Copies of this chain bind each other. A is one copy, B any other.
Amino acid sequence: MDIREVAKRAGVSTATVSRTINNLKVRPGTARRVRQAIEELKYFPNTQARSLVSGRSRIVGLIVSDITNPFFPELVKGFEDAATQKGYEVLLSNTEYDSTRMANGVRRMLERKVDAVAIMTSEMDASLTQQLAHRKIPMVFLDVGTVDNHISNIKIDYSSGISQAVEHLLELGHRRLAFISGPSDLASARIRSSAFLDAMRERGVIGDPSWIEAGNHRIDGGFHAMSRIFERRPLPTAVLSSNDLTAIGALRAIRRHGLHVPDDISVVGFDDIALAEFTEPPLTTVRLPRQEIAGKAFDALLTSLGDTSRMGVEYTISPQLVVRESTAKARE
């Protein structure tokens, strides 16, 4: 079942069938006959042969840190939806935060001749991206700065997100805000921390760096950070967290400490993972729209692929505060 059979049945040459499939110049009547033959034979082109000759695979790579981290599944799904809608397949690679695995992933991408790659991990290895850049494979990064030839970027306005959260808490009358940060080797986590300080300062509240306690973006880190916060006086009346898992850990520590959220302490997360809606109480958090991020990332790639001017593009994503039940008026 190949292009020749279709050609025979439609009484044309294989070239004409090929042109019909690819929407090139074919007389309407001829095209119709070809399409009918295709229909009748339930023919579809052999992707391998196609990419062998065209040099384009219609496969895009997606490199993420860890698909079991609740941040990523939605991102992956959004990306795949966008890709499959345009007739692309996705080659997924988990780095597990490990550079060897990252290198393997890149190798697989190269072997399978991906047309473009989205790199949505937190940190990057320059030598690996160079391998891709060298072959002029368009890339898009998640918030790592520089747009360049073939390189696009999805920028996230963390400041805006953190500002909204701080604003929300200040409006509720909170003045003593603590912040549980992410791992300090994670750029996006550092940005969130300083955005917190900035937001406080801008609003004339003393943004004391000592109100920042270190977490690790996991539940246990949030738990321990919150436990350490309890050893200090005065206690904060509200706690902002660098991500939702951290906030969940904090919620747990607060409950273990015999206090109640939000009556005693307000808690705000960041990311809005699916679970945030179902914590006890439901978590007020800053939503990072992952479907949108994924969609824009794919768009950026598509743009680079279709464009002769090889410059990447930059899209900015704005997080949005989602108020649920873990925040309330400050009591004091």
Task: Say what secondary structure dominates the interface of chain A.
Answer: helix
- Residues on the B chain within 8 Å of A80, using CB: 92, 94
Q: Which residues of B contact A44 (CB under 8 A)?
A: 107, 110-111
- Chain B residue nearest to A94 (CB atoms) is B77
Assuming A68-B73, A255-B280, is B113 touching A48 (CB within 8 A)?
A: yes
- A275-B76 Cα distance, complex, nearest whole Å: 20
Q: In whole angstroms, how far apart are the Cα atoms of A107 and B90 in the complex?
A: 15
Separation of A97 and B77 alpha carbons in the complex (Å) = 14
Name the interface residues of A69-113: CB closer than 8 Å to any CB of B.
Answer: 70, 72-74, 76-77, 80, 84, 89-92, 94, 104, 107-108, 110-113
Indicate the member of A48, A89, A104, A107 with the most B CB atoms within 10 Å. A48
Proximity bits, A263-302, B CB within 8 Å = 1, else 0: 0000000000011001010000000000000000000000
User: Does A127 sit within 8 A of B, measured CB to CB?
Assistant: no
Rounded to whole Å, the gap between the CB of A31 and the closest CB of chain B is 21
Given A48-B113, A52-B46, A77-B67, decide whether A108 and B89 contact each other with a Cβ distance below 8 A: yes
| A108: min CB distance to chain B, Å | 7
- Residue A126 interfacial (CB < 8 Å): no
A152-166 residues with Cβ-Cβ distance < 8 A to B are none
Scoring A73, A76, A251 by chain B CB atoms within 10 A of each residue's CB, the highest score goes to A73
Give per-residue flags for A251-268: 1 if the beta carbon is below 8 A from chain B beta carbons, else 0: 110010000000000000
A-side residues, CB < 8 A to B, are 44-49, 51-52, 57, 66-68, 70, 72-74, 76-77, 80, 84, 89-92, 94, 104, 107-108, 110-113, 219, 248-249, 251-252, 255, 274-275, 278, 280
